[in-house]
């Protein structure tokens, strides 16, 4: 099985699906001739041509709006937003149009679009190239929100998203693009949307996370294992809809829960998971559900020291695990 970077896995998914299904096409700012700002779509323009790899103006609402129109005419568009920080102009199209088409048409219409966007801090991108914007969409019925953490999942989840009959917002942590490598099969395969994965089994604490934070959490779990703290690490993969069964089964097994995400604390997905556990597994808990997230500041600073303070890391997660274990 070939080894690929996270970025190469996403590109492989696009190539395989575009080869297999002539309805699939890519559109976005600089996705064609340039190959994307991170070069995720590098080579696709030369392979599939200008009709299927379409450079769009700097108008995110137009990019997603065109994708919705194409989907309604039977195509399978994959729209790229250059940075998740720029997705706000397209929120009206995603939430008010794409997410509601099936409902408003009593199931007569579907909207099979994928909106891809790189997100997250840690690359010195400062205010407008570092945001985690997933919470904008995790309370919107009609959407699926997906965030892979491994190259294998990046390809399998993206193919599943492209084949899904409803709109999917697909976030890719930019720090993983070239730093994360793993085995990725050739050819098409899918990873089911809406299913979490237990990456490390444990008996004392359940740790729920996604994206880049999965890797920091696994490192933290190994750190505290030497101190006798046994942590189960669950990769959520899909934030909406959540895999309720896996989350609750893990907490019922360990009796303590820590939720880790890079997004701001207030309004983040951690609050929803905490409520889910409190409502449906309260009698199993031996401690309050704990959340660890980025501070409630407007954005990541450009200053390197402030960026490091904003970002979570393995040491911060290990500290939270020790506190929860001692409760």
For residue 1, the model assigns a pLDDT of 83
Looking at the fold, whether 169 and 284 belong to one and the same domain comes out as no
Looking at the fold, whether 176 and 220 belong to one and the same domain comes out as no
Confidence band for 299, pLDDT divided at 50, 70 and 90? confident
Query: E strands within 44-141?
Result: 53-55, 76-80, 114-119
User: Domain span at residue 40?
Assistant: 3-183
* Model confidence pTM above 0.75: yes
Kindly state whether residue 188 falls inside one of the protein's structural domains: no
Residues 6 or more apart in contact with residue 34 via CB below 8 angstroms: 55
Sheet holding 114-119, edge to edge: 53-55, 24-28, 76-80, 114-119, 168-173, 144-146, 238-240
For the chain, what is the mean pLDDT?
96
> Over the stretch 160-216, which tens digit does the pLDDT of each residue have?
999 999 999 999 999 999 999 999 999 999 999 999 999 999 999 999 999 999 999
Domain closes at, from 140, 157, 183: 183
For residue 124, the model assigns a pLDDT of 84
Domain closes at, from 134, 159, 183: 183
Looking at the fold, whether 35 and 178 belong to one and the same domain comes out as yes
| 3-state secondary structure (DSSP) of residue 203 | coil
The enclosing domain of 209 has a CATH number of 3.40.50.920
Give 182: exposed, middle or buried? Use CB within 10 Å, 0-12, 13-18, 19+. Answer: middle
For residue 322, the model assigns a pLDDT of 98
> Over the stretch 248-257, which tens digit does the pLDDT of each residue have?
999 999 999 9
For residue 122, the model assigns a pLDDT of 83
The enclosing domain of 139 has a CATH number of 3.40.50.970
Which contiguous run of DSSP H or E holds residue 28? Answer: strand 24-28
> Over the stretch 27-75, which tens digit does the pLDDT of each residue have?
999 999 999 999 999 999 999 999 999 999 999 999 999 999 999 999 9
Q: How far is CA 14 from its chain centroid?
A: 17
* DSSP single-letter state for residue 123: S
Residues with a known catalytic role: 129
Domain closes at, from 118, 153, 183: 183
Number of domains in the chain: 2
For residues 173 and 147, give the distance between their C-alpha atoms in angstroms, rounded to a whole number. 8
Mean pLDDT of 85-107: 96
């Amino acid at each position: 099985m070939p080894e690929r970077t996270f970025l190469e896995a996403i590109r492989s998914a696009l190539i395989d699906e575009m080869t297999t299904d002539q309805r699939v096409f890519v559109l976005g700012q600089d996705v064609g001739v340039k190959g994307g700002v991170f070069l995720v779509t590098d080579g696709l323009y030369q392979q599939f041509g200008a009709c299927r790899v379409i450079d769009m103006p700097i108008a995110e609402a137009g990019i997603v709006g065109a994708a919705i129109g194409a989907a309604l005419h039977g195509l399978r568009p994959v729209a790229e937003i250059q940075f998740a920080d720029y997705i706000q102009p397209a929120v009206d199209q995603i939430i008010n149009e794409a997410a509601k088409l099936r409902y408003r048409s009593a199931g007569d219409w579907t909207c099979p679009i994928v909106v891809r966007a790189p997100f997250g801090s840690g690359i010195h991108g400062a205010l407008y190239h570092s945001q985690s914007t997933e919470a904008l969409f995790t309370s919107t019925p009609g959407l699926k929100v997906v965030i892979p953490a491994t190259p294998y999942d990046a390809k399998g989840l993206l193919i599943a998203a492209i084949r899904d009959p409803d709109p999917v917002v697909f976030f890719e942590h930019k720090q993983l693009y070239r730093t994360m490598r793993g085995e990725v099969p050739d050819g098409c395969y899918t990873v089911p949307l809406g299913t979490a994965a237990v990456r490390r089994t444990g008996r004392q604490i359940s740790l729920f996370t996604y994206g880049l934070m999965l890797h920091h959490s696994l490192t933290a779990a190994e750190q505290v294992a030497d101190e006798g703290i046994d942590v189960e690490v669950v990769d959520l993969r899909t934030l909406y809809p959540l895999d309720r069964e896996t989350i609750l089964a893990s907490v019922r097994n360990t009796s303590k829960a820590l939720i880790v995400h890079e997004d701001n604390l207030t309004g983040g997905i951690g609050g929803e998971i905490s409520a889910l556990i409190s409502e449906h597994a309260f009698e199993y808990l031996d401690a309050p559900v704990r959340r660890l997230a980025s501070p409630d500041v407007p954005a990541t600073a450009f200053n390197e020291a402030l960026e490091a303070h904003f970002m979570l890391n393995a040491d911060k997660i290990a500290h939270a695990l020790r506190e929860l274990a001692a409760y």
